[in-house]
Amino acid sequence: MLTIPMQALSSKMHAPARAESRNGSSTPAAINLSVDQVMVEERAAAFAKRSIKTSAKLAGLKLAISMMDLTTLEGKDTPGKVAFVCRKAMQPMDPRYDVPPCAAVCVYPNLVKPAKRFLGSSGVKVASVATAFPTGLMPLKLKLQEVRSAARDGADEIDMVIDRGQFLSGNYNRVSDEIAATKEACGAAHLKVILETGELQTYDNVRIASELAMRAGTDFIKTSTGKVTPAATMPVTLVMLEAIRDYFYETGIRIGMKPAGGIRTAKQALAYLVMVKETLGDDWLTADLFRFGASTLANDVLMQIAKVVDGNYQSGDYFSLP
C-alpha cells in the first residue's frame, strides 16, 4: 500500500487553498495513491472492445476532431509549415462533411507569433510547448523566460514538461514548485503539465505525478511529449482519469486530460472517448476538458468520417499531412 502525506508533495501547492475557498473543506492528511495494475489493465482493455452504432460513431469521430491539438514539433518546422497546419485545423475537411475545427495548433515557442497570425479570430487556440521541451533539463529561470515569451507572443495554452529525473529521485517539492512557478508565468494562458509517463516506470508514479501536478495548479495533465516510447496508452490514461475524478470529488475542481503520442487510429480515439465518458462523465466530453495530441491521428479520423458519410473509403492521398 502506497500512501504519501500531502504535505510531502509540496509546501507551495495551490490547489488545496483553492479547494478550501470553494467548498470549505480541507485537504486530507494523506491520500492513497496505490494503483491496482491488474484491474487498471483489464478495465482499459474492456473499453477498447465496445461496439458503437453508426450514428453515434459519426458524432464521436467529429467530437474527436474538435478535441485535437493538431501538432507540429519538428526541427524543420517553418512559418510556412505552421500556416499549412493552421489551415487544416480551421477546416479539417470539405465543408459538406460538417466537420468542426480542431481545438488548437501546438507549436514550438518561436512559432507562436505566426500561428497566432494565421489563426486570427477563427477560435482555434495556439498551444506552445515550453520549459525545455521535451527533456525539461534547463535552469528554472530560463524555463520561465521561455514560458513568459510564448505567453506574450499570444499562446493561449502552455504545454510544460516536468523534470523526470527530479521526480524519480523523490524531489516532489522541487517538481511541484516548478509547476506552480510555471503556472504563474503563464498569466492568462492555460497550463498543461506533461508527465512523460513512458519514463515514470510504474502506474503508482503516474498517479503520484498526476496528483502532484493538479495540486500545484495545472489546468490539464498530459501523458507524453510524443518523443518517448511508450507514449499514451489506455491503462496509463485511465490512471490519470481516475486521479482527475478523485480530485474533482475532493475539491470540486475540474482538471482537463490530454493523451498524446501513440494514438493513430479512429478506433483508438473512440475507445478513449468511451473511457472518458464512463470514468468522468459527459461533462468532460468537451475540448475544454479533453484533448488529443494529434498528428497522424487526424487523417485516419477524417478517412473514417468519409467512409460513414459516403459509404466508401477515400485514399489517404486526399488528406494532407500532418
Burial 91-102 (b: 16+ CB within 10 A, else e): ebbeeebebbbb
Please identify which residue in the block is written with the cell numbers 458519410: 309
Letter for the amino acid at 41? E
Catalytic pick among 156, 159, 163, 300: 159
Sign of CA dihedral 309, 315, 320, 321: positive
The answer to whether residue 222 is catalytic is: yes
The catalytic residue among 57, 113, 222, 300 is 222
Cell numbers at residue 135, please? 527533456
267 is catalytic: no
Residue 268, all three cell numbers = 483508438
What are the residues whose beta carbons fall under 8 Å from the beta carbon of 235, sequence distance 6 or more?
A: 40, 41, 44, 203
To which H or E segment does residue 126 belong?
A: strand 125-129
Q: Give the cell for residue 104.
A: 488548437
CA proximity to 107, closest of 134, 81, 76, 129: 129
**Active-site option among 62, 113, 183, 258:** 258
The helix or strand, by DSSP H or E, that contains position 224, with its residue range, turns out to be none
In the block, residue with C-alpha cell 488528406: 319
Pairing of strands 125-129, 157-161: parallel
Confirm whether 76 is a catalytic residue: no
Which positions are annotated as active-site residues? 159, 222, 258
